[in-house]
Amino acid sequence: MNEAWSLTRQLHREHLNTLSVLNDLEMRVINNAPKPIDVSDRNDRFRLEDFIRMIDDDLFRHYRFEEEIVFPRLAEVGLSPITDMLSMEHETIRGLADGLRSAAIVALESGFTSASWSEFRDGVMDLVHSVNFHIQKEEMGVIRQLDMVLGAGVDRELGVLYAAFV
């Protein structure tokens, strides 16, 4: 079986992508804080579209797979304290991300007002901090241990499942 099917590699790649998308958005927000993202600007529009895609795939889909498939297996081998904590963080992050996703969709249609930009900008900063901290814990507490705890065969089996997970 190809190493690309490794669940740990897939989750790690998604973490890196999530950090990249959030870092790009954070830099745009910080460097041009008073100026809203301009949806008529190709780069800004892509930034919002990429942000929405990242939320759908690298957060929502990723979290569902972990909670439905991975965390129960880890709990069976005694790691429920960390999986419970990560699941609670998922809920918090989902709440932040869902509101920002909705705001980004509205902005793609009609742009930002000064009020919606201010709220979006503050929310992005909250999301960046929450996701960065969460990914650090997940990388250290789950990703680095997954194949050791469950075995390389299970890592590949779960990787195949994840590649097809909708």
pLDDT digit string, tens, across residues 15-36: 999 999 999 999 999 998 789 9
Instruction: Please give the Cα distance from 26 to 24 (Å, whole number).
Output: 5
In terms of residue numbers, what domain contains 152? 3-164
Indicate the number of domains in the chain.
1
Contact 143, 73 (CB under 8 A): no
pLDDT digit string, tens, across residues 59-74: 999 999 999 999 999 9
pLDDT digit string, tens, across residues 137-150: 999 988 888 888 88
Query: What's the half-sphere exposure (Cβ side, CA atoms, 13 Å) at 79?
Result: 21
User: Which parts of 7-97 are beta strand (E)?
Assistant: none
Residue 20's domain is classified under what CATH number? Answer: 1.20.120.520
Quote the pTM value.
Answer: 0.91
Instruction: Please give the Cα distance from 4 to 59 (Å, whole number).
Output: 20
